[in-house]
Amino acid sequence: MQKQVAGTIIYNDQQGTHFLVGQSDSKYYFYRLPVQAGNSPLASVLWALRHTIGIDVDQLRLYDSIMAKLDNEKVAVFVFDHLALDEQTRVKFEQQGLRFVLASELHELFMSVSVSETTPFTNLSK
C-alpha cells in the first residue's frame, strides 16, 4: 500500500474559521493523496495543490503539521493558511470535490482524527 498524506487550508472570515475538506455521503474528510516517489509528504501536498488543483502555493504558509491516524493509517497532516480566496480559487477546489466548511460543522471529522500524544522524537534518546 502506498503511503498517504493529507492536507487542509484554514480560511478565516466574519463567519469564523473554515477548513478545506471533501465530503462523501454525509461525512467530511481531509484532502488525501499518495506520497509521490522521491518526494517528501510535504512536497507531495504542495505539488498536488499547485499542479492538480492549480492554486498559487507560494502564498501559503505552513500553519501546523501533525501525525494522525486517519482510517487506521498513520498519515502526516499539513495545515496551511494565508490563502487569498477568490471565486476562481473556490471553483478550482470544487472541481476536485473540495470546499471550505466552517469548523463548527466539522466536529465529527475532528473527533475521528486520532493524534498521538507523544512526539516522534521521544524514541530517539533511547
CB-facing half-sphere around the CA of 44: CA atoms within 13 A: 21
Q: Return d(Cα 15, Cα 41) in angstroms, integer.
A: 31
Q: Return d(Cα 53, Cα 96) in angstroms, integer.
A: 7
The per-residue pLDDT for range 37-89, each reduced to its tens digit, is: 999 999 999 999 999 999 999 999 999 999 998 888 899 999 999 888 899 99
Q: Domains of the chain by range and CATH?
A: 4-125 (3.90.79)
Instruction: Please tell me the predicted confidence (pLDDT) of residue 126.
Output: 46
Query: Residue 43's closest CA among 24, 62, 30, 29?
Result: 62
Query: Residue 123: pLDDT band by 50, 70, 90 thresholds?
Result: very low
* pTM (2 d.p.): 0.87
Give per-residue burial for 15-42: e unless 16+ CB within 10 Å, then b. eeebbbbbeeeeebbbbbbebbeeeebe
